Homo-oligomer: A and B are copies of this chain.
Amino acid sequence: MLELLSENRSFGGLHRRYRHPSSELNGPATLAVYLPPQALAGERVPALYWLSGLTCTDENVMQKGGAHRLAAELGLALVAPDTSPRGAEVPTDPEGGWDLGQGAGFYVDATQAPWDRHYRMHSYVVEELPALLEAELPLAPARSISGHSMGGHGALVAALRHPGRYRSVSAFAPICHPAACPWGRKAFGAYLGPDPRAWAGWDATLLIPDAAERLPLLVDQGSADPFLDTQLRPADLAAAAEAAGHPLQLRLQEGYDHSYFFIASFIDDHLRHHAAALRAPG
């Protein structure tokens, strides 16, 4: 099922890009996996899923995230899916924007035509992809999830919707309250329809009050991020967490922006956070 596209040795492990047919996405999907040295030595290793932001592919975090070094040391696999379905027959933004359609799947399961034929990134990331990878690669069924911006939103929502599925969750500059920001409203309006009541199940700030599991949330946010107040709205998440008594560690990182320089600067903290949960007795 997994077709190997390329392979690079990295920190004693292997960075691999794969393609495979996806039933959720109704077409081919591309992704990258970093297998640490422990996996090459025969161990089944736990996996950290990384969801990227708008316009990204699997390549951004693998090339710019600086995560391989410590993942190799900690024995963590890294899994980086694409940010949407792709292909000539996959719909794109009719307005030509980069914030809807290909590269902007928002990690939801679309219910509206024409999006619903391919845009099922949530079920792809949460169900189909782990099942495939754990069947074909030396990955243990111990998973954590993180991501950046749109992908930080995706990670928080995946963990909040599926109690027990992830050992830990974190996010960098997540879109915390998509139902209340321009990016989220545009995407949710298209994928989920105009009624905001259909959006609540896909919004971390709105999911927190009813979360069945109090999995602690680790969130890093740069203070110089140009999207902080308009699109990301971490204060909304913090208010919801406080009201619900949901554990949240929100760290405002002074002077950092929205780039991968910010992510690389703090990725080690997140890897250690996830490794502690993934390596604990299951």
| A residues in contact (CB < 8 Å) with B | 8-12, 15, 63-64, 66, 68-69, 222, 224, 255-257, 259-262, 264-265, 268
Contact = CB atoms under 8 A, between A and B. Distances in A.
Contacts of A255: 9
This protein's copies in its complex? 2
7 closest Cβ contacts across the A-B interface? A10-B261, A8-B261, A9-B255, A9-B256, A11-B265, A66-B66, A63-B64
A265 B15 CA distance: 12
A257 B7 CA distance: 9
Contacts of A11: 264-265
B224 A265 contact: no
Query: Is chain A's binding surface mostly helix, strand, loop or mixed?
Result: mixed
A6 to B, nearest CB: 9
A264 B68 contact: yes
A259 B8 CA distance: 8
A143 to B, nearest CB: 24
A49 B64 CA distance: 20
B9 A264 contact: no
A162 to B, nearest CB: 32
Contacts of A63: 63-64, 260
B264 A10 contact: yes
Nearest to A65: B66
A64 B264 CA distance: 10
A9 B261 contact: yes
A68 B260 CA distance: 12
Contacts of A261: 8-10, 15, 68
A221 to B, nearest CB: 13
Contacts of A265: 9-12, 68-69
A257 B260 CA distance: 24
B8 A262 contact: yes
A69 B262 contact: no
A66 to B, nearest CB: 5
Given A10-B261, A15-B261, A63-B64, 19 more contacts: A8-B256, A8-B257, A8-B259, A9-B255, A9-B256, A9-B261, A10-B262, A11-B265, A12-B265, A63-B63, A63-B260, A66-B66, A66-B68, A66-B69, A66-B264, A68-B261, A69-B264, A69-B265, A69-B268
A7 to B, nearest CB: 9
Contacts of A69: 66, 264-265, 268
A11 B66 CA distance: 12
Contacts of A260: 63
- Which of A11, A63, A69, A261 has the most chain B CB within a 10 Å cutoff? A261
